[in-house]
């Protein structure tokens, strides 16, 4: 408990020159008319009138804090002594307010709230009696004094005012937050509607904005969303964010989000191959599809990155376009280890082709000719055997006749319904399309399976006066046609599954060559197996007998120009030598030349644990020479291979393919081997991913939508190709906000 003596200090004979931060030393007593150079953080109470003060001024007066540690108050004569205010008293009693102008002290709560006419000390009358200051304080703060009541009033006043101010700020902040969340929710639904249209290839625009598919979807969503309904229907809404410009902006933004995710995953692997192809769109613009192939988290990926418009199709221009597009997309081009294109001269040319131009800048990017194209070319070239080619032409003519005539198509379906054949629910013939890799085998199978139906339909068309039906029927009902049809269908069907396999994203070069070799061995074994030919001939003979076709071999011509004169003792032997052997041998030779060409980079497949016995010193040297530039620790390769062999000698179960081997390879223990296998599995096999993107291009850029801009087209293509992509709409909204200043409150 404080004693009265605590409020005073001993009398000093002389005044020390004391200073404070913003004033000169003060040594004399001051009255109301005399200025004292002491600064307080509150207004001088002597000049204030409580009744005219605002609530804000009262709050500032009550809450102001001042601790005058470095202040020397003026001294004045009181009695026989010089006395001054003790600064510690002000520090200990926060309710005191010092008046500089009168060198006296007020009580802040009593100054503002006291209405007791008997108690004016510290309220209306400031205290400057420093001699009796302690006793005056004790009297003023005694229990039950008006001071305590004023303190309570001051506390209540501050609590009310500060809470009210805080409440207003909170209300404003809460209202702003609510508006932001509401507007972001509306924008999120607009983005989702655009993403739905893009992924499902639904045209966004209509004849007018109000009858567009996009606006119809938003209107449908608004049935269960009050905020969206109000946003769309309110005529005072300035920015509805449904205009074509906003649509384009969001389409591009969502497409970039898809691409960014793919690019980040591709760059993290630091090893990829470029797959590209070109095609003409509906507006006759040359479009280039850019895809990347990379091995990410034990999965082989081939991802479409977008379409780029090509102004020129020369090798130099396309190479520059490919590299520029990859850099703009964010791909680290220095990580490219392979290129995959079709066999066009401007792509594969060894001097001026795209692959040659790119290898000048990136020698490690090895070119691989699309294996699916190679297989298709093998079948096309093998089909140039004269009798096979004639059969193919006849099949194509009949397919066209039934496909592009409503009357003939109706007759074909009528004949099909009258037979027990179901043709696997097929109701029309298939065309021999040279660009659809598996179409030939499928078309021949359908034609052969519906042979009876076609004959019946042509016969009915002849009765109805169709002039071309008789010619088609005569070509069909000849034994050379029948035996060629049966033979070609059987041999080409042997390659159908290989063609489908080569189009898979998960296939690698090692597996592709392995399966191509299987087909080759199968065909060679059938050549040496007489039962295969006997079964084919018996099948053709049964068809011929059913339709009254004479089975005979063509007569020998003295000059062999348009028919095959082969020595034969009988009809089966003739067609075996004239049709079966030439077509089979030609097909095997084409597959061998196009798909089974040995190259040094394939020697890395000897690192597969189940094939380590094939890893000779020469192959090991070829691996070091071909992959050395990519290896992180080239000098350790030999020792690493020795440890690799020892590691798998100790294992009973050995992986037999690249994918499984990579899953069981620790990149820390075997960094060089892991890199070699990673490069080998990343090498492109086919351009099927780029070809599939062109199918999307035809659906998106139809004749009704041929004038859309390039960025919009590429964004829609990304959404349509990657239709299962999960968009981060919060991130999309942030990107949308950061792009430029928006009129809608979004943050």
Report pLDDT digits (tens) over 53-70: 888 888 888 888 777 767
Banded model confidence at residue 422, pLDDT cuts 50, 70, 90: low
Domain parsing of the chain, residue ranges:
4-142, 248-369+704-729, 376-595, 602-682
Q: Does the pLDDT of residue 186 top 70, yes or no?
A: yes
Q: Where are the beta strands (DSSP E) in 190-271?
A: none
Q: 420 or 413: which carries more pLDDT confidence?
A: 413
Estimate to the nearest angstrom the gap between the alpha carbon of 272 and the chain centroid.
17
75, burial (CB in 10 Å: exposed 0-12, middle 13-18, buried 19+): buried
Instruction: Round to whole Å and give the CA distance between 389 and 434.
Output: 13
Q: What pLDDT, on the 0 to 100 scale, is given for residue 14? A: 37
> Domain spanning 248-369+704-729 has what CATH number?
3.30.420
Instruction: Give how far Cα 81 sits from Cα of 5, 98, 132, 137, 344, Å.
Output: 16, 22, 13, 21, 113
User: Is 604:627 a contact under the CB 8 Å cutoff?
Assistant: yes
Q: What pLDDT, on the 0 to 100 scale, is given for residue 267? A: 96
Q: Does the pLDDT of residue 664 top 90, yes or no?
A: yes
Q: What pLDDT, on the 0 to 100 scale, is given for residue 34? A: 41
Q: 686 or 233: which carries more pLDDT confidence?
A: 686
pLDDT tens for 590-606 read: 999 999 887 777 889 99
- The stretch 719-739 carries a mean pLDDT of 93
Instruction: Round to whole Å and give the CA distance between 732 and 739.
Output: 11
Q: 568 or 212: which carries more pLDDT confidence?
A: 212
pLDDT tens for 249-281 read: 999 999 999 999 999 999 999 999 999 999 999
With pLDDT > 70 as the criterion, what percentage of the chain qualifies?
Answer: 89
Q: Beta 366-369 vs 336-341: how paired, if at all?
A: parallel
pLDDT tens for 56-110 read: 888 888 888 777 767 778 888 888 888 888 888 888 888 899 888 888 999 999 9
Q: Does the pLDDT of residue 8 top 60, yes or no?
A: no
With pLDDT > 90 as the criterion, what percentage of the chain qualifies?
Answer: 52
Which range has the worst mean pLDDT, 210-224, 414-428, 440-454?
Answer: 414-428
* Residue 179 neighbours by CB under 8 Å, 6+ apart: 745
Residues 420, 424, 430, 435, Cα dihedral to 10°? -160
183, burial (CB in 10 Å: exposed 0-12, middle 13-18, buried 19+): buried
Instruction: Round to whole Å and give the CA distance between 637 and 623.
Output: 10
User: Is 338:682 a contact under the CB 8 Å cutoff?
Assistant: yes
User: Is 718:255 a contact under the CB 8 Å cutoff?
Assistant: yes
Q: What pLDDT, on the 0 to 100 scale, is given for residue 337? A: 96
Q: Is the dihedral of CA 72, 76, 77, 79 positive or negative?
A: negative
- The stretch 338-356 carries a mean pLDDT of 90
Beta bridge partners of 549: none
Q: Does the pLDDT of residue 562 top 60, yes or no?
A: no
Q: What is the mean pLDDT of the chain?
A: 86
Q: What pLDDT, on the 0 to 100 scale, is given for residue 433? A: 66
690, burial (CB in 10 Å: exposed 0-12, middle 13-18, buried 19+): buried
Instruction: Give how far Cα 84 sits from Cα of 104, 164, 215, 385, 687, Å.
Output: 10, 41, 82, 125, 97
pLDDT tens for 450-494 read: 898 889 888 888 888 888 889 999 999 999 999 999 999 999 999
Q: What pLDDT, on the 0 to 100 scale, is given for residue 271? A: 96
Banded model confidence at residue 115, pLDDT cuts 50, 70, 90: confident
Q: What pLDDT, on the 0 to 100 scale, is given for residue 19? A: 32
pLDDT tens for 130-150 read: 888 888 888 888 888 889 889
User: Is 279:285 a contact under the CB 8 Å cutoff?
Assistant: no
């Amino acid at each position: 408990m404080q004693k009265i003596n605590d409020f005073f200090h001993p009398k000093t004979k002389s005044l020390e020159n004391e200073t404070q931060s913003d004033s000169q030393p003060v040594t004399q007593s001051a009255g109301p008319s005399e200025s004292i150079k002491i600064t307080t953080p509150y207004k001088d109470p002597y000049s204030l009138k409580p009744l005219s003060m605002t609530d804000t001024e009262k709050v500032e007066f009550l809450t102001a804090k001042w601790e005058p540690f470095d202040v020397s108050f003026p001294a004045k004569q009181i009695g026989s002594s010089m006395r001054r205010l003790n600064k510690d008293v002000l520090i200990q009693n926060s309710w005191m307010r010092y008046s500089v102008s009168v060198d006296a002290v007020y009580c802040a709560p009593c100054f503002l709230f006291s209405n007791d006419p008997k108690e004016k000390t510290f309220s209306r009358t400031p205290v400057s009696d420093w001699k009796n200051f302690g006793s005056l304080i004790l009297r003023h703060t005694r229990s039950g004094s008006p001071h305590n009541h004023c303190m309570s009033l001051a506390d209540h006043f501050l609590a009310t005012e500060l809470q009210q101010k805080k409440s207003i700020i909170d209300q404003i902040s809460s209202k702003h937050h609510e508006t932001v969340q509401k507007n972001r929710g509306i924008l999120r639904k607009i983005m989702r509607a655009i993403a739905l249209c893009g992924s499902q290839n639904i045209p966004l625009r209509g004849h007018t904005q109000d009858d567009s598919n996009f606006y119809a979807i938003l209107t449908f969503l608004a049935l269960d969303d009050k905020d969206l309904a109000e946003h769309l229907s309110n005529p005072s809404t300035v920015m509805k964010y449904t205009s074509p410009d906003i649509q384009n902006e969001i389409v591009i933004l969502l497409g970039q989000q898809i691409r960014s995710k793919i690019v980040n995953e591709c760059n993290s692997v630091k090893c990829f191959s470029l797959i590209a192809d070109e095609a003409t769109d509906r507006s006759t613009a040359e479009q280039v599809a850019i895809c990347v192939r990379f091995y990410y988290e034990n999965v082989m990926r081939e991802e479409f990155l977008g379409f780029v418009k090509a102004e020129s199709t020369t090798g130099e221009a396309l190479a520059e376009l490919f590299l520029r597009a990859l850099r703009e997309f964010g791909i680290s081009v220095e990580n490219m280890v392979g290129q995959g294109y079709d066999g066009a001269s401007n792509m594969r040319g060894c001097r001026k082709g795209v692959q040659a131009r790119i290898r000048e800048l990136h020698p490690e990017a090895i070119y691989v000719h699309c294996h699916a194209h190679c297989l298709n070319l093998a079948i096309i070239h093998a089909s140039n055997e004269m009798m096979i080619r004639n059969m193919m032409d006849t099949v194509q003519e009949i397919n066209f006749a039934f496909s592009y005539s409503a009357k003939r198509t109706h007759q074909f379906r009528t004949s099909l319904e009258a037979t027990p054949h179901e043709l696997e629910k097929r109701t029309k013939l298939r065309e021999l399309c040279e660009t659809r890799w598996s179409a030939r085998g499928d078309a021949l199978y359908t034609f052969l399976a519906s042979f009876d139906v076609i004959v019946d339909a042509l016969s009915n068309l002849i009765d109805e006066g169709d002039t071309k039906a008789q010619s088609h029927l005569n070509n069909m009902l000849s034994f050379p046609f029948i035996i060629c049809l049966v033979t070609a269908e059987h041999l080409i069907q042997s390659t159908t599954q290989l063609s489908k396999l080569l189009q898979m994203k998960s296939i690698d070069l090692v597996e592709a060559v392995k399966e191509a070799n299987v087909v080759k061995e199968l065909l060679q074994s059938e050549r040496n197996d007489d039962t295969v030919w006997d079964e084919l001939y018996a099948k053709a003979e049964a068809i011929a007998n059913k339709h009254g076709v004479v089975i005979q071999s063509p007569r020998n011509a003295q000059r062999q120009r348009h028919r095959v004169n082969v020595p034969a003792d009988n009809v089966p032997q003739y067609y075996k030598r004239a049709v079966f052997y030439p077509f089979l041998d030609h097909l095997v030779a084409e597959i061998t030349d196009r798909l089974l060409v040995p190259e040094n980079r394939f020697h890395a497949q000897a690192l597969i644990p189940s094939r380590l016995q094939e890893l000779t010193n020469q192959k090991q040297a070829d691996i070091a020479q071909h992959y050395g530039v990519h290896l992180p620790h080239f000098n350790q390769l030999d020792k690493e291979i020795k440890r690799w062999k020892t590691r798998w000698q100790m294992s009973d179960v050995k992986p037999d393919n690249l994918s499984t081997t990579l899953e069981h390879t620790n990149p820390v223990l075997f960094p060089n081997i892991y890199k070699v296998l990673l490069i080998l599995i990343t090498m492109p096999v086919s351009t099927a991913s780029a070809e599939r993107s062109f199918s999307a291009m035809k659906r998106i850029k139809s004749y009704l939508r041929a004038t859309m801009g390039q960025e919009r087209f590429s964004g829609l293509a990304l959404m349509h190709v990657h239709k299962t992509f999960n968009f981060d709409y919060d991130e999309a909204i942030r990107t949308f906000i950061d792009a430029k200043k928006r009129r809608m409150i979004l943050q």
